[in-house]
Structure 1
């Protein structure tokens, strides 16, 4: 049998690399947007940009929804996109983009944990071990001090918990999609759930912030707006579509391997932008990635 890669496998690897580059670059885009906009303004416009881009997909399908589907899609829109957009922006006011990208890698483990606690899914010993190792990695990351030493628990950078809360939201989101949606396709879920939260984001952005004022009076605001628009369109809308395509053409296991590549891209962007990582950070990063790898590693079936 030939070991040459097929056209589909090459295409899947291209999808995976593009996805890692897009999602891994999201954190530097957040950093650039925060130079002008507040976390609330950035989070709201990110949702507005993503939802508006997907209107051609969402609007024609809304009238065919059942009431229970609408309720679930509102929940998915909130925990899968709306709330995390604000949490990540808030976190990066005090965390580097590279460390935020690493902490985001905890998402698959929170999918397992939330599924076990609230959706009757089973958690294996491998999952538990991965959670423990990743948790220790997080503790290391948030207690590293200047000089590379480790501080006490009272020295923890509390802004890391915004990222952890966002990962928890993603955990609920993916489990809700898995257990409560059968009829809708993943792309439809993404587009319509964003449509459900678009009015809230738009009203908050225009009536509850200085967003409009900054656009006309603050130098560099339009450039920052471009960064956030890219974040919404590429990092939220198109990336989710590409991820769904990858799950369909390859497998969920292969698609989930993007989790290990995102922190690498985020770190490279951070170092390029002048962010300083201490040796303790590298220890914590290694522990987080190792924990995620162990927690998501599938048991191999031995064949005779």
Structure 2
């Protein structure tokens, strides 16, 4: 399969998987704290990835490790906690919408920090997508005036981390395959995640009962599909496309997340649906060839 076709398949799959991850986090938070959710998600995903990819660690050279450390922190470890706390404070669909700022941040950081050149149509597409995102945010605030929108800062910070991550992979880790990079990430974060989880009292106070069993099930699904497999797939997509294309998956994620939100009783207006169409148009502009 050609890379041109493969990158679009990855984009669609990741949109579905990551778009569904927000409702899984919301359900898991019914029985677990945000810290427990993020730490468990990281640990379970790390176990899966390390079992499959540990042989690839020998491919990582000394010069790679400093970039893998930074990439693991800003692209995997810290965002897991930021989104867990965000979804505790605002609707899962709104958190996913705010994540759509990632392509915009990728463009700015890629140009200013990493020296990547972008086409004019990519900037236009990002701005169009950003307009759609702003409409969704403002309308979401109108529909949910009782929610604390200071939590909205957390997905925005995470989107900046994702933007750094995708540019780091493209510029400094281009000679490592996706599984190797992902394994390097998780070999670094599994121990800190275990330490953080231990401080929550999880290992001494957690009880498996009718309320916590579903939460653990949601986390396992989230960790396996939404973190382990999706991370490998995303890192591969970065390799075969551009940073802007890879980060544009965050423009499609809210559409899936909003649908799940509606099913779960979250509010959605006609204006938000129109904003979703605007976002899709922005994605098309970003990836349109001259």
Q: Check conservation: 1:46, 1:229, Cα contact below 8 A.
A: yes
Q: Distance in 2 between matches of 1:216 and 1:148?
A: 37
Q: Distance in 1 between matches of 2:162 and 2:184?
A: 17
Q: Distance in 1 between matches of 2:140 and 2:228?
A: 37
Structure 1's 54 and 117: CA in aligned 2 closer, same or farther, altered over 3 A? same
- Cα RMSD, aligned residues only: 3.3
| 1:256 Cα deviation from its structure 2 partner | 6.4
The normalised TM-score by structure 1 is: 0.80
1:195 aligns with 2:187: yes
1:222 aligns with 2:205: no
| 1:37 Cα deviation from its structure 2 partner | 1.3
Residue equivalent to 1:174: 166
1:241 aligns with 2:229: no
1:49 aligns with 2:39: no
Q: How many residues align?
A: 288
Structure 1's 139 and 158: CA in aligned 2 closer, same or farther, altered over 3 A? farther
Structure 1's 31 and 214: CA in aligned 2 closer, same or farther, altered over 3 A? farther
CA deviations 1:174-197 (Å, max 9, x no partner) are 111111114311221012111111
| 1:221 Cα deviation from its structure 2 partner | 1.4
Q: Check conservation: 1:51, 1:194, Cα contact below 8 A.
A: yes
Structure 1's 161 and 189: CA in aligned 2 closer, same or farther, altered over 3 A? same
**Which sections of structure 2, spanning at least 5 residues, go unmatched?**
none
Q: Distance in 2 between matches of 1:242 and 1:67?
A: 24
CA deviations 1:85-123 (Å, max 9, x no partner) are 111111111221222222223322221111112112235
Q: Distance in 2 between matches of 1:127 and 1:8?
A: 20
The normalised TM-score by structure 2 is: 0.83
Structure 1's 180 and 146: CA in aligned 2 closer, same or farther, altered over 3 A? closer
Q: Distance in 1 between matches of 2:67 and 2:5?
A: 36
**Which sections of structure 1, spanning at least 5 residues, go unmatched?**
1-5
Q: Check conservation: 1:45, 1:228, Cα contact below 8 A.
A: yes
Q: Distance in 2 between matches of 1:200 and 1:18?
A: 29
Structure 1's 278 and 156: CA in aligned 2 closer, same or farther, altered over 3 A? farther
Match of 2:157 among 162, 165, 173: 165
Match of 1:119 among 114, 121, 127: 114
Residue equivalent to 1:278: 269
SS in 2 for 1:112: helix
| 1:173 Cα deviation from its structure 2 partner | 0.3
Match of 1:103 among 98, 101, 124: 98
Q: Distance in 2 between matches of 1:177 and 1:15?
A: 17
Residue equivalent to 2:88: 93
| 1:12 Cα deviation from its structure 2 partner | 7.5
Q: Check conservation: 1:58, 1:195, Cα contact below 8 A.
A: no
Structure 1's 10 and 120: CA in aligned 2 closer, same or farther, altered over 3 A? closer
Structure 1's 125 and 58: CA in aligned 2 closer, same or farther, altered over 3 A? same
Structure 1's 264 and 64: CA in aligned 2 closer, same or farther, altered over 3 A? closer
Structure 1's 113 and 146: CA in aligned 2 closer, same or farther, altered over 3 A? closer
Structure 1's 132 and 111: CA in aligned 2 closer, same or farther, altered over 3 A? same
1:269 aligns with 2:269: no
Greater Rg by CA? 1
Structure 1's 137 and 245: CA in aligned 2 closer, same or farther, altered over 3 A? closer
Q: Which has the higher helix share?
A: 2
Q: Check conservation: 1:109, 1:292, Cα contact below 8 A.
A: no
